[in-house]
Chains A and B, each alone.
Chain A
Amino acid sequence: MKQTGAIALNTFKETIRDRVLAIIVLFALLMIVGSLWLGSISLGEEGRVMKDFGLVAVTFFGLVVAAFIAAGLIHKEIEKRTVFVLFSKPVSRAAFIAGKFLGLALTMAVVVAGMGLFLFLVAWVIDGSPTWMVLAAIGLIYLQLLVIVAVTIFFSTFGSAILASVLGICVFVAGQLSTNVLSLTRLGENAVTEALSWVVFVLIPNFTAVDVKPAVVGEQAADWGSIGSWCVYLVAYVVAVLLLATWVFRRREF
């Protein structure tokens, strides 16, 4: 646990100091501000448009950070041979993977919280009152991004950094189409197709189970029960993927 914490803190220091991160966050903030302009041509629906596009900005830029930085975490250590320093000490592969994940999760928390808070405050100014659901939506976006971090780390344990980041983004897109895959499982035409669809449906993360946007823009009340079980699912998914990554990484030699 101690090693995990040390590696996590080290990873946090490494990633938060990355200048590219600052540029990405800057662009995200610009996009949020830009969505205000879109709101101005929305016939009185500035708040709604601004929140919607703002959440898209947070998701998009958060995804860029998640996929590209996560992909480099392990590769950098191997390329720069700092793995020799690490694994010559009593550090397990599990602690390493967990530490890398937690470190980047902490960085992502700072980044997403920063963007989210900015969005929340701007929305407050526009609407004249706070929309607390924006914070809940940001929290759910954060969880989804953690899934992508975990998945990208998994791919980076055996693939190149570029491959891992591309696959991470593909998994994100696939996760957005989860419902479509579910409908394939109900075609009832061919047992093989159905079985395969089920396998794919279970393997890809389900990012469509809950939609909080209607609650964010005030169209309907949030279903906290569904949100809660979705969160449990996402956390379980992250843990399972990280354990798989550990299992693969154990077999890696340096």
Chain B
Amino acid sequence: MGRGLTRRVALIVVFLVCAVVVVRYQTTQSTAESRIGQPFVPSPKFFLDFSPSYRATIADAYWLQTIQYYGEHVQTDQKYDRLKPMLDLVSTLSPHFERAYLFGAYALLDAGLGNDAYRLLERGFARNPKAWTLATNAGILIYSYGPEDVKRDVATGWFEKAAAVPNAPLYVSRIAARLLGEGGEVQKATALWAELYATGDKYSRERALAGLDDVLPTNAAARREALEKVRDLMAPTTFQELVKALVAG
């Protein structure tokens, strides 16, 4: 019995020593250089030729790597050399992965690659014409960071496209309408505000009224004439209400 107990104790001691070695080795792994720093990013074409069945899986693997890579460099040196190729790879292998375009655009923006960010969203919307978020964010991006002379017009185009997507939220239409009005495209703006008035919630109707009030001529007759052009966009009673609200007398 004594010998058995001694052997058991010896085995436990050996186990503990080995466990300590293992834990110590792992916990002292260097944090200085991260392997994520320089990920290997082949051209998307390589995978398109090579592995048609596993594109999505490879895209997912690189997506995880992209997030890690970005996070790692945001906290350290703010150098993102491989970010664009990684996002290109993910978006090419998984062209309907909307989140990749959205996150990718803002990450690229952070990396000082505004043009690449914009083009990523552009490509994303081209491949996903129902993704109103991509169009909306392209509009926001260009409006916030684009060249002064074109940003309003280009952004307006994006918001129009976004608003045209069937399930896009109302605020997108409101932004589009506002921009159209500010850009002098009165007819388009009027139409969009009118649509919002006809189909929107209480808040949207209030904004629509305010928006129409801004873009329509102040003269009552001219105002009434302009409103006639949008009569067919809503029910007769709704139209009457709209006219009553906007045209005094």
Contacts and interface: CB of A to CB of B under 8 A. Distances in A.
Chains A, B in direct contact (C-beta < 8 Å): yes
Interface residues of A, number: 25
Contact of B21 (A180, A183, A233): A233
A236 interface: yes
A245 to B, nearest CB: 11
Given A183-B34, A183-B72, A201-B26, A243 B15 contact: yes
Contacts of A136: none
B72 A229 contact: no
A201 B31 CA distance: 14
B11 interface: yes
A90 B34 CA distance: 51
A240 B15 contact: yes
A202 B15 contact: no
A209 B227 CA distance: 72
Contact of A240 (B7, B18, B31, B68): B18
A206 B26 CA distance: 8
Contact of B29 (A182, A187, A237, A239): A182
Contacts, number: 57
- Interface residue SS majority, chain A: helix
Contact of A202 (B18, B27, B71): B27
B19 A240 contact: yes
Contacts of B72: 183
Contacts of A94: 7, 11
A247 to B, nearest CB: 8
B202 interface: no
B36 interface: yes
B103 to A, nearest CB: 16
B68 A183 contact: yes
B150 interface: no
A239 B19 CA distance: 9
A208 B25 contact: no
B248 interface: no
Given A183-B34, A236-B18, A244-B15, A229 B71 contact: no
A186 B71 CA distance: 10
B71 A187 contact: yes
Contacts of A229: 25
Contact of A179 (B11, B19, B35, B71): B35
A236 B29 contact: no
A236 B25 CA distance: 10
Interface string A145-179: 00000000000000000000000000000000001
Interface residues of B, number: 22
A73 to B, nearest CB: 20
Interface in B24-63: 25-27, 29, 31, 34-36
A247 B175 CA distance: 68
B11 A243 contact: yes
Interface in A52-106: 92, 94
Given A182-B29, A183-B68, A202-B26, A237 B11 contact: no
B5 interface: no
Nearest to A226: B30
A240 B26 CA distance: 15
B245 interface: no
Contacts of B11: 94, 243, 246
A239 B14 contact: yes
A243 B11 CA distance: 7
A27 B46 CA distance: 27
Nearest to B21: A236
B23 A202 contact: yes
B54 to A, nearest CB: 15
B68 A233 contact: no
B1 interface: no
A46 B246 CA distance: 81
B18 to A, nearest CB: 4
A232 interface: yes
Given A183-B36, A246-B11, A240 B22 contact: yes
Given A179-B35, A183-B36, A202-B27, A243 B22 contact: no
11 contacts: A179-B34, A180-B64, A183-B72, A198-B27, A208-B35, A229-B25, A233-B21, A237-B18, A243-B11, A244-B15, A246-B11
Q: What 8 pairs across the A-B complex have the smallest Cβ distances?
A: A236-B21, A240-B18, A233-B25, A236-B18, A243-B15, A239-B18, A179-B35, A202-B26
Interface of B: 7, 11, 14-15, 17-19, 21-23, 25-27, 29, 31, 34-36, 64, 68, 71-72
